[in-house]
Amino acid sequence: MMDVNSSKFRYTVLVLNCLLTFGSYFCFDMPSTLKSHIQDQVISDFTTDTDIYYNYFYTVYSWTNMLMSLCAGLMVDRLGKEKSMYIFVTCCLVGSAIYATGTFLTNLDGQSRYIIMFVGRFIFGLGGGPITIVQNAFTAFYFSGHEIAMAFGITLTFSRFGSTINYYITPSVYDAIEKSTPDYALGITLALGSALVVISLFAAVSLAKLDNYAQAQKAGPYEEKKDSSGKVAPRKKMSISDVKDFPAMYWILAITISIFYSIIFPFMADATSYLGTYTEKFGQDCSVDPDPCTYVTPFGLNDTSATFRAGLVYQCSMIISPFLGKFVDWFGRRTHIAFFGTALTIPVFLLLDRTTIDPILAMLLLGTSYSVCAAALWPSVQLLVPLRSVGTANGVATAVQMLGIGLANIAVGILGDQYSLHDSLTFFLSLGVASSVMVLTMFFLDRDGKMYKGKRDADGTGDGMDIKDPLLPKERESLV
C-alpha cells in the first residue's frame, strides 16, 4: 500500500473522488439534451405548459438538494464521509433508474408517467447535490494545506466531463436507438445514463477503502497532532451551534454562489431551446390555435447543432478548470478573479439577445465565466470557516445555492411559456449584474484578507501552502 503521506496517495484519492460524481453529472443534464422528446412524448400528453412542467424536473432536484444539503453537511461531519457517500450514491442510482422507468411505461397516460419520472428526479436529488458535498469534504480533508483550489478545479473538470459527454453523445445515442425501437428510445437512452452511476458506486467503494486505510495508519490528514507537552491534541467536533458563528463573509459568499449558479444551471437546462427553435407562446394554447404563436429561430440551429454549442460551456470548463485552480492557489485575489467571472456573463447574454453572431462565442465566454467562478468561489468556503465545520459549511452553502436555482428554474419555465425569448435572456443578464455586485461587496468587506492572499504571499517556498500559511484561518492550525 502507498505511503499515506505521499502525494501519490493524495492524488489517487483525488482521482477516485473525481469519479464519484461522474455518473450523477451525466444524468443530471440528460433531460436538457432530450428536452424536446420528453416534452413531446410525456408532458404534452396532459398539458400545454410544457416548459413549466419540464423545468419542474430541475426545480424538484434543486429544492430536494436544498433540504438534503442542510442535513448532508451534518451527516458528513457526524456519520463520516464513507457512510454518507454510500447513501448518496445509492440515491443517485435508484433515482435515475426510476426516472428512466417512467418513460418505458407507454401503457400509462402521460400524466402518470410524468409523476413516476418526477418521483425519480426527487430521489435523484436526494443524492445528486449531497454527493458533491462529500466530494468537497474529501478534497478539503486531503488537500487543506496543499493545492486546494487546484484540487477543486480537477474535481470540477472530471465532474463536468460527465456533463460534456452527455451533451455530445446522448442525442446521437437516442437517434440510433430510435431507428430500431422508436417506442422505447427515450427510456433506453435514459437507462444507459443511469448505468453510468455504477462507475460512481465502484469509485465510492475504492475511496472508502483508501480512507479507512489512512485512518488505520493514523497518517496523512488523520495524523495525530500533539500539543507542546507531547500529548495528543483532541480534534474539535463540529456543533450545529457553530453555524451561527460563521462570519458575514461566508453568508455573502453563499448568496453570491446562489445567484451565479442560478444563471448557469437554469440556462443549461433550456439551452437547446435558446440556441435552436424557440416558441414564444405569450400564454396562448399553441396546440389548439397556432396563429398567436411566434416561432423564432434566432440562430437557425437544429437540435444537434444547438446541443453541440450548449455543450461547449462544460467542455470549456472541463479543459481550463485545473489550470485556473492552480493559478488561484498561487495568485490569491479571489474576489478580483470572481468579479471577472461574474461580469463575463453580461456580454454573454447581450450577444445572445442583441446579435445573430454564432453562439459558439457566447458559450465559450459562459464556460470561461463558469470555470473562473468555480475556481474562485467554492474553495473560498474552506478559508472562511473552521476545518471541523467544512462539511456543514458546504452543506449550508449548497442549500442556499439550490434555493436560488430552484426559484430560477420556475421563473425560466414561466418566461418560456408566457413571455418572449428577450425576457428570458434579460432575466439571466440581471442575475449576472446582481452576482457582480455581490462580489464587489465581498471585496470591500474582506478586511482580514482571507480571500486575498495566495501562495505567492506565503512565508514558505514549498510545494503548496503550509498549514500555518497566512492564507488559512488561524483556527485551522490546531484543527488539521
302-to-272, 420, 453 alpha-carbon distances in Å: 9, 20, 47
pLDDT digits (tens, 9 = 90+) for 51-69: 899 999 999 999 998 888 7
DSSP bridge partners of 296: 278
Region of 473 on the Ramachandran plot (φ > 0 left; ψ -120 to 50 alpha; else beta): beta
Which range among 83-92, 231-240, 354-363, 367-376 shows the weakest confidence by mean pLDDT? 231-240
Can you read off the three cell numbers belonging to residue 457?
504571499
Query: What is the spatial distance between Cα 411 and Cα 56, in angstroms, rounded to a whole number?
Result: 11
User: How much is the pLDDT for 257?
Assistant: 96
More confident residue, 145 or 82: 82
Q: What is the CA radius of gyration of the chain?
A: 23
Say whether pLDDT at 265 is over 60: yes
Query: What is the spatial distance between Cα 374 and Cα 370, in angstroms, rounded to a whole number?
Result: 6
The answer to whether the Cα torsion of 204, 210, 213, 217 is positive or negative is negative
> 294 φ, ψ to 5°?
-110, 120
pLDDT digits (tens, 9 = 90+) for 399-423: 899 899 999 999 998 988 777 788 8
User: How much is the pLDDT for 67?
Assistant: 86
pLDDT digits (tens, 9 = 90+) for 297-351: 567 777 778 888 999 998 888 888 778 877 887 787 889 999 999 999 999 999 9
Best-predicted range by mean pLDDT (1-10, 79-88, 232-241): 79-88
Residue % of the chain over a pLDDT of 90: 42
Can you read off the three cell numbers belonging to residue 83?
457512510
Query: What is the spatial distance between Cα 43 and Cα 63, in angstroms, rounded to a whole number?
Result: 21
Which range among 73-87, 144-158, 343-357 shows the weakest confidence by mean pLDDT? 144-158
Please state the rounded mean pLDDT for residues 452-460.
61
User: How much is the pLDDT for 329?
Assistant: 76
DSSP bridge partners of 226: 232
Q: How many CA atoms lie within 13 A of 227 on its CB side?
A: 6
User: How much is the pLDDT for 463?
Assistant: 39
Each residue of 171-182: b (16+ CB within 10 Å) or e?
Answer: bebbeebbeeee
Contacts of residue 449, defined as CB under 8 A and 6 or more positions apart, other chains included, come to 470
Contact between 129 and 68 under an 8 Å Cβ cutoff? The reply is yes
Domains of the chain: 7-221+242-478 (1.20.1250.20)
Say whether pLDDT at 226 is over 60: no
Q: What pTM value is reported for the model?
A: 0.79
Helix pair angle (303-331, 248-269), 10° resolution: 160
